[in-house]
Structure 1
């Protein structure tokens, strides 16, 4: 009874009886800042700390899509087949080193085990809630002071092969419960050229997917960071080396400087998440590096283009075109490989006209945190320690929805039912069943 009394007194001192009053968020990308913003909505004092500052990672260099209709989990059987083929092609869109280090090898073993129809379909169903809340949560942020434009647009999915377009339309219908609400249109001829003025004659058809959005990702994330600061949040730049708990307090340790102390911590460090979770999380997270660059164009593009046959995404960006592509399983701190940029150009150039490929600038490589089972990690790692990461290529689309749901769990102490599939302590892959043959 005495121990219980001490525990109750400690909870009262820390504010944990009514939820934490202070939280340190590790990571100043879209996921971490969204968690901070929605925690502030619930009256929590927040400190956000990042090794390189706001939007220094994948939240700067991605394609900027808020496209719930297209957010397919990566662990599909088709991706596994493409990965195996890529072993013989160093310029393939999905690149796996022939001699991966031990951490990458362990991840790939688990990832391959999860590239089964049943696991992929489970990930699709789980991620549907993040898709359904993606647009709304951006509306909440913008209407409450996040000063950055969000553009409503169809996304034009361009194909050289008509059969591939039919297969894509079929896959869209399997990506979530909102398929009956999804509006698509098949464009050819003049309608195709009007919507995609940069399409080359090699493009035979375009599937126009309505009801999507895009942003300048760096601009939006910086605006979100300013909003957090203006609401009283503290933003710090420091490398976090770990965390510890003492009673009801969590200490976040920095390489330089005294620990940051709070009632709870949110680990939202992107591809660096495994260094902070250690072996506590059973699901493995690996850096899936993506590349982007900007090129001038001769004709304005009204909205994004996706080239699935080349696995390249293109978005209007500051008067030009941001071109993003590739998935490269290497260490997050490895340098940019110019060969990967050349491969993106080689695959996309035949499908686009009026693009000045030789004038590319703002070359960027960044690491997306890819989970081994197609679902992010959102929830409790241990008392007072929460995780938000592993969204793969869809951190920008799913970040605000993740932040809102996690803030609810942190402040109420109750796991929302829709977050159960994302539990960081969920078990790893199981052996294939009869539905996976």
Structure 2
């Protein structure tokens, strides 16, 4: 443990429920304040959305989902089973209620509010990762631009408009346009179908599974215990908070952080958290490639992200609104491959491995849920959508500050879970 002096009368012990990037980052920064931490997760470290995502630390591309054009795109996707956005047919009143609230927030005022709320997280997200690696998290943080590639310059103009709109809201993004040999230099796998590109500078990426496992090992080396059981209930009682499993296992501490990703409503709804949250499941797999890949590739037209991964290429895509515990749907992987195959060459699609699906927690208003709830000593952290990896460490640092000081940082006001 760091040995940093304790601030005031803050909690001496905290249980963090959830061993993904958000929960483990919160645990690590609590340890920086001298707090004793226990971590609980039913599946172990990085068992949810933290393992198989694209691994981008990309403040320049944290574009909120609730852009007005997404609503029009979503309506078209309902009749296309191969679309990157997939909503299974069937009667799920909770899902349709969520989608109605999400649609109501697909307007520029809500989108701009989410962009501005994200500004402090974006400003500090890379620094928070660097604090972890400097403090003993043994996993590399790789600096590289992200190259968005398009069939035509006209398609590229769509992303350029988004970047200009981000700039108008306060999020400055260093970027430049690419074509011809310059595009091929950044995307050696580009087929002849890709004719234009946008280079997003100043970004980072990681091997997400390796990074989160290294973070878990660092948290344990600093004195935390990781417990493998499902938490079915949380109870506050006389200044202590207790978590329990369905089989009667209990742990108690001065405070509890619920960082359970797409499963957050199962524990948090009874404590006054009313912002709808659903699992927007993403898929990924790994494929061998015939040429080295110098950095991440973004294919906005088909909503696919590609990242150098262990000498191969991780391909990630799809936003599928389905139960977080539902099994992988092979047709979603085939849809990703069909959409990307004409755009990239030198990819051995038939040799893919590491097929994966993970639930990303998506809120109806595009802003995560971070902070205290109605019951003293209980906090939540989740709902980051596609940007949970990028914003996990800075979320953990800010929430740890709130827990030990009792004061909500200004950067967390827009993410109040009781809004």
TM category (shorter chain) comes to over 0.9
Structure 2 partner of 1:433 = none
CA distance in 2, matches of 1:181, 1:286: 30
Contact 1:124 1:176 in 2 (8 A): no
Pick aligned residue for 1:286 from 253, 260, 278: 278
Unaligned runs of 5+ in 2: 1-5
Pair 1:412 & 2:415 matched: no
CA distance in 1, matches of 2:203, 2:353: 27
Pick aligned residue for 1:60 from 46, 51, 67: 51
CA distance in 2, matches of 1:355, 1:326: 19
Structure 2 partner of 1:298 = 290
Structure 1 partner of 2:63 = 72
SS in 2 for 1:199: coil
Pair 1:266 & 2:257 matched: yes
CA distance in 1, matches of 2:369, 2:236: 21
Structure 1 partner of 2:268 = 277
Pair 1:94 & 2:81 matched: no
SS in 2 for 1:351: coil
Pick aligned residue for 2:39 from 35, 48, 56: 48
SS in 1 for 2:232: strand
Q: CA RMSD for the aligned pairs?
A: 1.5
Contact 1:125 1:176 in 2 (8 A): no
- Name the count of aligned residue pairs: 412
Pick aligned residue for 1:116 from 107, 117, 121: 107
CA distance in 2, matches of 1:317, 1:294: 8
Larger Rg: 1
Normalised TM-score (structure 2): 0.96
Contact 2:50 2:212 in 1 (8 A): yes
SS in 2 for 1:278: helix
Kindly state the Cα deviation for residue 181 of structure 1 after the two structures are TM-superposed: 5.2
Unaligned runs of 5+ in 1: 1-14, 427-437
CA distance in 1, matches of 2:412, 2:149: 34
Contact 1:155 1:305 in 2 (8 A): yes
Pair 1:346 & 2:338 matched: yes
- Bigger CA drift: 186-195 or 245-254? 186-195
Contact 1:114 1:120 in 2 (8 A): yes
Contact 2:296 2:307 in 1 (8 A): yes
Structure 1 segments (4+ residues) deviating >6 Å: 177-180
Kindly state the Cα deviation for residue 368 of structure 1 after the two structures are TM-superposed: 0.5
CA distance in 2, matches of 1:195, 1:176: 24
SS in 2 for 1:326: strand
CA distance in 2, matches of 1:176, 1:287: 29
CA distance in 2, matches of 1:94, 1:178: 26
SS in 1 for 2:281: strand
CA distance in 2, matches of 1:52, 1:167: 40
Pick aligned residue for 2:136 from 111, 126, 145: 145
CA distance in 2, matches of 1:85, 1:249: 50
Kindly state the Cα deviation for residue 99 of structure 1 after the two structures are TM-superposed: 2.1
Kindly state the Cα deviation for residue 107 of structure 1 after the two structures are TM-superposed: 1.0
CA distance in 1, matches of 2:176, 2:405: 43
- Given the superposition, is the C-alpha separation of residues 359 and 78 from structure 1 closer, same or farther in structure 2, using an over 3 Å criterion? same
SS in 2 for 1:266: strand
Kindly state the Cα deviation for residue 242 of structure 1 after the two structures are TM-superposed: 1.1
- Bigger CA drift: 184-193 or 218-227? 184-193
CA distance in 2, matches of 1:175, 1:148: 31
Structure 2 partner of 1:397 = 390
- Correspondence list, 1:18-33, <5 A: 18-33=9-24
SS in 1 for 2:202: strand
- Correspondence list, 1:176-187, <5 A: 182-187=173-178
Structure 1 partner of 2:352 = 360
SS in 1 for 2:44: coil
Structure 2 partner of 1:430 = none
- Given the superposition, is the C-alpha separation of residues 156 and 179 from structure 1 closer, same or farther in structure 2, using an over 3 Å criterion? farther
Structure 1 residues 355-377: Cα deviation after superposition (integer angstroms, max 9, x where no partner): 01111111001100001100000
CA distance in 2, matches of 1:180, 1:27: 30
Pair 1:211 & 2:165 matched: no
CA distance in 2, matches of 1:190, 1:356: 23
Structure 2 partner of 1:255 = 246
Contact 2:398 2:409 in 1 (8 A): yes
Normalised TM-score (structure 1): 0.92
SS in 1 for 2:31: helix
SS in 1 for 2:366: coil
CA distance in 2, matches of 1:201, 1:308: 17
CA distance in 2, matches of 1:40, 1:30: 15
Structure 1 residues 62-87: Cα deviation after superposition (integer angstroms, max 9, x where no partner): 00000000011111111111111111
- Given the superposition, is the C-alpha separation of residues 178 and 124 from structure 1 closer, same or farther in structure 2, using an over 3 Å criterion? closer
